[in-house]
Chain A
Amino acid sequence: MFTAKPFESTTRRDFLKAIGIAGAGLTIGVSLSPSRAAAEADAAIITKSNGAFAPNAFIRINPDNSIAVVIKHLEMGQGTYTGLTTLVAEELDADWSQIVAESAPADVSRYNNLLMGPTQGTGGSTAIANSYEQMRRAGAAARFMLIAAAAAQWDVPATEITVNKGVMSHKSSGRSATYGELSTLAAAQPVPDPQSLTLKEPKDFSYIGKSLPRKDTGKTDGTAIFTQDIKMKGMLTAVVLHAPRFGGKVKNVRDQRTRDQQGVIDVVQIPTGVAVLATDFWSAKKGRDLLEVEWDESEAFKRSSADILGEYKSLVEKPGLAARNDGDTSAAMTRVARVIEATYEFPFLAHATMEPMNCVVQVNAGTCEIWNGAQLQTGDQGTVASLLGIPVEQVKINTLYAGGSFGRRANPHSDYVVEAAHIAKAKKGTPIKLVWTREDDTRAGYFRPMYVHRIRAGLDEEGNPLAWEQRIVGQSILAGTPFEEFMVQNGIDATSVEGASTLPYRIPNLRVELHTVDLGVPVQWWRSVGHTHTAYSTEAFVDELAHAAGRDPVEFRMALLKEHPRHRGALKLAAEKASWGTELPKGRTRGVAVHESFNSFVAQVAEISLQKNGGFKVERVVCAVDCGIAVNPDVIVAQMESGIGFGLSPLLMSEITLNEGQVVESNFHDYQVLRIDQMPEIEVHIVPSTEPPTGVGEPGTPPIAPAVANALFAATGKPFHSLPLKLG
């Protein structure tokens, strides 16, 4: 558990709003930091080592005129180094080339996610949304102090000083100076109240809205440093033998052959298994292969996927807890002309980041230092502090680039971080690099849960939907986590039903029910969380309704979205750009889906071709996204491409299966993911908007699977209810 009680001052409503579940518009926090004292205490700090001026917690202006922007969010590929830096540069009027992004330390008093209460963390596609005003105010405050310094130095009114690309000028006296030249003097200026500063109007933006080059550099020449790349004197690599089943425990270890292995230094028993410590990975791995461990499986999870699926399919026939209840579905069903029904099946999914989970930890007397692609710093910090019995502040976290995460590194139990800390605790003073093999990573659990949905809808004589009843069966992601208190209410885990309980279509009688199943399989959020399955079931089913009504899928949706202009805007743009309704060559069809997640709206039109071998190919995807003000259009395009590619894997090939509790899949040969020859052409269009910016890391994923399935439905006349698709 968190020792810092991260959410104590956040209301559930705020939290839900923040992560987009409430479906309402986003409220942006307006303070520079909820802990103003901490932010202002940073002001006027001159760093002793090099004389840098730190006007606040987010900016450091160096005498050499370089500017460090401190990024509180994890860079895992989504472009947050670029986006947050853009916000500062905009108000600071800095030159893009003088700015370097660097990762913030774990310090919740300064670097909390304003949409997660007092928690430092990245997720729910909130980075830009929660930073939009905060980072701009940080930039404006720095600019204010630098101009004040120039005004004092030159003895001219501050109002006569202009700034262009980091150079301050006073026209009538002909004087000019860089920020670096006046940084020391700026530190002596009064710190402005951030709320007193006027931010730019969007029409005056020079950086926001432009596709500036990315700031997460070093990724084309091998110099970018990930956790896997940390090297330290005396560091040992740890490879852990885990229990073959969830809940299994070590009973007996025979490790003499391991200890005799060249390079092996020690063998350490930890709660999650047996760790082999060696001078290098290969020696540790060979040592692990020689371990003989007997497991206590008395409390281990031993069920199989087929058995769980059977239970879910039987549960879905029974009423569950209501997550939404508009009108009277049961009564309406008696009046409809036609009832359509479908049952959907979704397997467990692994995140399968390219960089398998890993973590470097060094424990010394009373302190601990961690190197990790940390996504929930506050959780990791608190959990490790509890484990070691030291104050939270004594746990230092260095957040590195993550080689992908898709939610995995935001583990609410800090699973792999705790594992590394246990090993480091047993080897005090020695830096320990825990390295999971691909097999460890695939089999470690924390999967996207398995789900079954059943949807029944009733249409009137004209084909209009009068009633919609959806039941969802699956595990709760949030049960037993610090998030439970805020996001599980009346037995409904918001992440189990989001996207279904928020169905935007105008259907007068609409009921969504949930069965939460308690299962010993560790589960976790996976890029776009509940939307990974609800977007599929709802958007594939809407196409079945349109088909039954004999209506065009785009027109059918538009008619039911009258109160949802942003859904309509995205859908209209995608349909137009995809030439929806025009004829395609023989063997080609289109399918469409539109879905809101994390307060962004995405519509996609997928074009597929049937292949001679009975399969099909996704040829082209046209995507329209409304994410409010587009801070960096190219990053948005990249995230849509990425979300589409990521969402194609569970549609086409990815599946984790359990056989008597053991994970069947182990590596990329049996847990397959999308490769380049399966990637469609993608065209992304951004809906022009003046709304505050919302996230793009996740919202590209949900619509792609139903869009493709709907194209297949159009081609074959057969709806697809089970993922991954099994054709033929």
Chain B
Amino acid sequence: MPITINVNDVDHTIDAAPDTPLLWAIRDHIELTGTKYGCGMALCGACTVHVDGAAVRSCVTPVSAMAGKRITTIEGIKSKEAKAVQAAWEQHAVPQCGYCQSGQIMSAAALLQTNRRPGDDDIDRAMSGNICRCATYVRIRAAIKTAAANLA
């Protein structure tokens, strides 16, 4: 049945079952592929998007719950915090395989949107839901600190 969701400031009307996870609505129906599938159970964070500015695991969020919400994916981020995070990711050469990095960046941007000066514990709390099998964690931590410094 048709459902309308707002992704990256654009309304999309898609024909998807109401239980379709937001992740697959974004990937298969709207065809934005920057948001990744990793586990389907909110265990790895690869699917992280922003819903009304907060980091949300799109793989367990039904599309039917998204009416009237503003969804932002990696392709649509433009907040100061998000741009600072992307720049810091490049500066620190964070990505290796890169598959988890959209989710990492979305989680990091959401962190900085609520906490401009995160300490190590804040970073652990905000980022421990995002797995990176290349273990780029040292650089993720450093890049978040750089982004925070550049926003100050």
Contacts and interface: CB of A to CB of B under 8 A. Distances in A.
Contact of B96 (A78, A220, A648, A675): A78
B114 interface: no
Contacts of B73: 222
Nearest to B101: A219
A536 interface: no
Nearest to A286: B17
B80 interface: no
B41 A403 contact: no
Interface string B31-59: 11111111111011010000000000000
A231 B43 CA distance: 26
Nearest to B34: A222
Interface string B1-44: 00000000000000011011100100111011111111111011
A421 interface: no
A674 B133 CA distance: 8
Contact of B99 (A283, A403, A674): A403
Contact of B136 (A213, A226, A262, A642): A642
Contacts of A286: 17
Interface string A22-64: 0000000000000000000000000000000000000000000
Given A78-B96, A228-B37, A438-B40, A220 B139 contact: no
Main secondary structure of the interface of B (DSSP, over half): loop
A404 B123 contact: no
B119 interface: no
Given A222-B74, A262-B17, A355-B36, A281 B96 contact: no
Interface string B87-124: 00110011111111110010000000000000000011
Contacts of A237: 28
A677 interface: yes
A220 B134 contact: no
Interface string A668-688: 110001111101011000000
A354 B74 contact: no
A402 interface: yes
B45 to A, nearest CB: 10
Contact of B135 (A218, A221, A355, A641): A641
Interface in A628-656: 634, 638, 641-642, 644-646, 648
A437 B36 contact: no
Contacts of B17: 262-263, 282-283, 286
B133 A352 contact: yes
Contact of B32 (A220, A222, A226): A222
A77 interface: yes
A247 B144 CA distance: 47
B16 A282 contact: yes
A221 B96 contact: no
B64 interface: no
A534 B76 CA distance: 47
Contacts of B99: 226, 353-355, 403-404
Nearest to A351: B133
A645 B96 contact: no
Q: Which of B97, B100, B141 has the most CB of A within 10 A?
A: B97
A79 B96 contact: yes
B75 to A, nearest CB: 5
A229 B139 CA distance: 26
A648 B132 CA distance: 13
B29 A280 contact: yes
B128 interface: yes
Nearest to B86: A220
A223 B101 CA distance: 11
A213 B93 contact: yes
B125 to A, nearest CB: 8
A572 interface: no
B127 interface: yes
A403 B36 contact: yes
A231 B32 CA distance: 10
A73 B43 CA distance: 31
A634 B93 CA distance: 9
B28 A403 contact: no
B28 A280 contact: yes
Q: Which of B16, B90, B96 has the most CB of A within 10 A?
A: B96
B152 interface: no
A77 B98 contact: yes
Given A281-B24, A354-B46, A668-B41, A220 B137 contact: no
B138 A222 contact: no
Contacts of B71: none
Contact of A216 (B20, B28, B32, B98): B98
A705 to B, nearest CB: 14
A443 B97 CA distance: 22
A669 B90 contact: no
Q: Which of B21, B124, B132 has the most CB of A within 10 A?
A: B132
A679 B98 contact: no
A226 B99 CA distance: 8
B41 A438 contact: yes
A197 interface: no
A221 B75 contact: yes
A675 B128 contact: yes
Interface string A208-232: 0000011010111111111011010
Contacts of A283: 17
B133 A354 contact: yes
A668 B32 contact: no
A282 B59 CA distance: 11
A645 B135 CA distance: 5
Contact of A675 (B31, B86, B131): B131
A96 B146 CA distance: 25
Contacts of B141: 676, 679
Interface of B: 16-17, 19-21, 24, 27-29, 31-41, 43-44, 46, 73-75, 86, 89-90, 93-102, 105, 123-124, 127-128, 130-141
Given A216-B95, A219-B98, A401-B97, 13 more contacts: A220-B90, A222-B33, A222-B75, A228-B33, A231-B33, A263-B17, A353-B97, A353-B133, A403-B100, A438-B39, A676-B123, A677-B124, A681-B138
29 contacts: A76-B97, A77-B98, A213-B90, A218-B98, A220-B94, A220-B95, A221-B74, A228-B36, A262-B17, A354-B133, A402-B97, A403-B36, A404-B97, A437-B40, A438-B39, A438-B40, A642-B96, A642-B135, A645-B137, A646-B133, A668-B41, A669-B43, A673-B131, A674-B135, A675-B137, A676-B128, A677-B124, A677-B128, A679-B137
Interface of A: 76-79, 213-214, 216, 218-226, 228-229, 231, 237, 262-263, 279-283, 286, 352-356, 401-406, 435, 437-438, 634, 638, 641-642, 644-646, 648, 667-669, 673-677, 679, 681-682
